[in-house]
Amino acid sequence: MSNNKKMVDAITARDADFAQWYTDLCLKAELMDYSDVKGFIIYRPYGYAIWEGIQQDLDRRLKETGHQNVYMPLVIPESLFQKEKDHVEGFAPETAIITTTGVEELAERLIVRPTSETLFCTHYQKIVNSYRDLPKLYNQWCSVVRWEKTTRPFLRGKEFLWQEGHTVHSTEDEARKETLDILEIYKKLGKELLAIPFVTGKKTEKEKFAGAVDTYSIEALMHDGQALQSGTTHYFGQEFAKAFEIKFTDADNQQQYAYQTSWGVSTRLIGAVIMVHGDDEGLVLPPYVAPIQVVIIPIQSQKEVVQQATQNLFDSLKKAGYRVSVDDSNKSAGWKFSEYEMKGVPVRIEIGPRDLENNEVTLVTRHNRTKHVMKIDQVLTSLPNILKDMHDAMYNKAVAHVESNTYQAQTYDEFKEYIKKGGYVAMSISGEEAEIQIKKDTTATARVIPFDQTLITEICPVTHNPATQTVWFARAY
């Protein structure tokens, strides 16, 4: 731990005020800054690099499964946006509208995209004619604008970065499979890159996406026991196809409406990484997504032997493909240790003249602050296992957190007690009436209907009507 705790002292303790800890960390770790327009943030290089890591990994996964990237316009004519009634009603309160050029009023108002279903639909209507044209598996990386009243960096903003996939299929089975396949890709992204165990399942009718037939979600559990919806996939059926006349001629030369899906994750994933893994000293970044995987800190860096050893190690790690950095600034070693702990860099390597007398270095792993003294020529060969063990330990710790904060309620009083503790509470309910009452009484919302359905009780503890499904509830961001 650092002797110079200047940077760490500026971060509020998690258990004292989790929301303030989160905000402090976003700013102090230089992930973002506030802009001059409320609700719009500046992504600083370190924060944007985390997004780039997520983007590159997911982009590879999507391309491996046949998806292609496209880009749609930023604006949507209002008349086009109005075509799908449920969709419009769902987004109406959040839409930003361009009405003037600054010189004259526009002939038709333009919606700044809150999402791009309507743009994709009009394009698909033009290019889909035959079953031979299908499927179309398109994805775009862009930003969207939703005029949120309450904002928080990465979690909820008036503008955020995301990917949105929009696909068209000739059959219901194929479209439904796509919806669930993407959900599985998101789940693997969580496990293999972010060290986050996502809970997956279907959204209730009340919580589903505006215009969707079915919505599925990946949910993450934060350190404070609140859930975070981290991504969604939607099966649209033929709802949008009928509104936008997306038809194709099938193998029997008959006209059919197409089946569609939509899905997306956003920079909200950065918030999930911060809140799932961070501690009182700052960020704890999973090694495979960390912008800097290894930082080398030379001690007495003016000494030639230290400089040479530092350069040699840096070159070998860089050549091997690691994201590695050297801090040979004139700041104290203690300050540097504190700084890189706060920034969550997975591995810190200290190279000093005393260590080098034995041809050794000190390697410190951020997630558990364990010091390893090893021969300098063992660093490169040891690093793959060190990073894998770190990733696995972080994932298993997050799994244990979910498991120890997941409850089953057989009575409504039990439910209320569990919700106070934080975490997921599973309860069998009768439907939307119970869901509305639960939110009114406890502020908890339905997160997912798990795929493995077993009734906990035959009667809904809230309405006392026959229970129809088991739902996982939580308080959420």
Q: What is the mean pLDDT of the chain?
A: 95
Q: Using CA atoms, how far apart are residues 200 and 188, in angstroms rounded to an integer?
A: 11
Q: Are 187 and 200 in contact (CB under 8 A)?
A: yes
The domain locations on the chain are 13-72+127-277, 294-391, 406-474
Q: In CATH, which superfamily holds the domain spanning 294-391? A: Anticodon-binding domain (3.40.50.800)
- Other C-beta atoms closer than 10 Å to the C-beta of 130 total 12
Q: What is the pLDDT of residue 2?
A: 40
- Is 187's pLDDT higher than 70? yes
Of the candidates 159, 179, 184, 156, the one whose C-alpha atom is nearest the C-alpha of residue 168 is 179
In which band, very low, low, confident or very high, does the pLDDT at 301 lie, cut at 50, 70 and 90?
A: confident
- Is 237's pLDDT higher than 60? yes
In which band, very low, low, confident or very high, does the pLDDT at 59 lie, cut at 50, 70 and 90?
A: very high
Three-class secondary structure of residue 256 per DSSP: strand
Return the higher-pLDDT residue of 460 and 11: 460
Pick the CATH number of 406-474 from 3.40.50.300, 3.30.420.40, 3.60.20.10, 3.30.110.30: 3.30.110.30
- The string of pLDDT tens digits covering residues 94-142 is 899 999 998 999 999 999 999 999 999 999 999 999 999 999 999 999 9
DSSP assignment of 364-424:
EETTTTEEEEEEGGGHHHHHHHHHHHHHHHHHHHHHHHHHHTEEE-SSHHHHHHHHHH-SE
Residues of the chain with pLDDT > 90, as a percent, come to 93
Q: Are 112 and 94 in contact (CB under 8 A)?
A: no
The maximal CA–CA distance of the chain, rounded, in angstroms, is: 81
Half-sphere exposure of residue 215, counting CA atoms within 13 Å on the CB side?
21
pTM: 0.95
Please compute the mean of the pLDDT values over residues 380-409 and round it to a whole number: 98
Phi, psi of 375, rounded to the nearest 5 degrees = -65, 140
Three-class secondary structure of residue 472 per DSSP: strand
Q: Using CA atoms, how far apart are residues 20 and 9, in angstroms rounded to an integer?
A: 13
Phi, psi of 55, rounded to the nearest 5 degrees = -60, -45
- Is 409's pLDDT higher than 80? yes
Locate 336 and state its tokens: 């540097």
- Is 365's pLDDT higher than 50? yes
Q: What is the pLDDT of residue 396?
A: 98
Angle between helices 268-277 and 379-404 (to 10 degrees): 90
- Is 3's pLDDT higher than 50? no
Q: Using CA atoms, how far apart are residues 193 and 285, in angstroms rounded to an integer?
A: 10
- Is 89's pLDDT higher than 80? no
Q: What is the pLDDT of residue 88?
A: 67
- Bridge-based pairing of strands 347-351 and 294-298 is parallel
- The string of pLDDT tens digits covering residues 208-233 is 998 899 999 999 999 999 999 999 99
CATH topology assigned to domain 13-72+127-277: BirA Bifunctional Protein; domain 2 (3.30.930)
- The string of pLDDT tens digits covering residues 67-88 is 999 999 999 999 998 886 666 6
- Is 345's pLDDT higher than 60? yes
Neighbour-count burial for 322-333, b at 16+ CB within 10 Å, e otherwise: bbbbbbeeeeeb
- Is 1's pLDDT higher than 50? no
Q: What is the pLDDT of residue 456?
A: 98
- The string of pLDDT tens digits covering residues 153-180 is 999 999 999 999 999 999 999 999 999 9
Q: Using CA atoms, how far apart are residues 82 and 369, in angstroms rounded to an integer?
A: 55
